[in-house]
Amino acid sequence: MHRKPLEDVVHPSMQGAITRNLRVALSNYEFRGYLNGRGTVVLHHRSLLLISSNSGFSLEGYLRDIFGSLTLPGEGPLAFDELDYSIDLVMPYDGCVLGHRFHAVIHTGWRTIEPRIARMRLQVDLNIHGAPFRGVVEHSAPVLRRFRP
C-alpha cells in the first residue's frame, strides 16, 4: 500500500505533534536458542515491531537507526548481530498502529544455554521532517532453549 508523504497529509506546524504521539513496542519478547552448524548457540527473536501513531507513514522513509541488545543475568549486554524488519506493513494501518515484521539474531560462543529471563533493549530512531524521535523498549525477555543439551 502506498502512503502519501507526511508533508502532504499533515501541516508542517503539526509534524512535531506526531513525534510526541509515537510509541514503539514489540508483539512479544521471547528469544529462542538454537544450535548452529558449528555447535554454538544462536538466539533468535521474531515478532512484530508496533509503532503507535496518529498518522500513517513509511518506516523506510523515516527510520534513521535501529539497534538492540539482550542482557542475561551476570553477563554484559549482547548486541544484536543481525536485525531485520519489513518495510511493508504486515497488517493494515488502522489509524492507531503500524505493524512491521521484526527479526533479531545474536550469535554466541556458548555450547549450551539454560532457560532464563533476560533484559531486552531496543532503540528505534526516526526523523519525521526534522522532528527527531527516539523510541526505547526495555522489557523482560524469556530465553528458551530449542535443542537438547
- pLDDT for 49-101, tens place per residue? 999 887 777 788 889 999 999 999 989 999 999 999 998 888 877 878 889 99
Rounded CA separation 42/75 (Å): 16
- pLDDT for 111-140, tens place per residue? 998 899 999 999 999 988 788 899 999 999
Greatest Cα pair distance in the chain: 58
Residues contacting 129, CB < 8 A, separation 6+: 6, 7, 12, 15
Query: Region 103-108: what's the mean pLDDT?
Result: 97
| Strands (E) located in the chain | 23-26, 31-35, 41-52, 63-71, 77-79, 82-85, 97-107, 116-128, 131-145
Domains and CATH numbers, the chain: 6-111+118-145 (2.60.40)
Alpha carbon distances (Å) from 46 to 7, 105, 125: 32, 9, 20
Rounded CA separation 30/141 (Å): 5
Neighbours of 126 (CB within 10 A): 23
User: pTM for the complete prediction?
Assistant: 0.81
Rounded CA separation 110/148 (Å): 14
* Residue whose C-alpha cell reads 526534522 in the numeric block: 130
Residue 52 has what pLDDT? 87
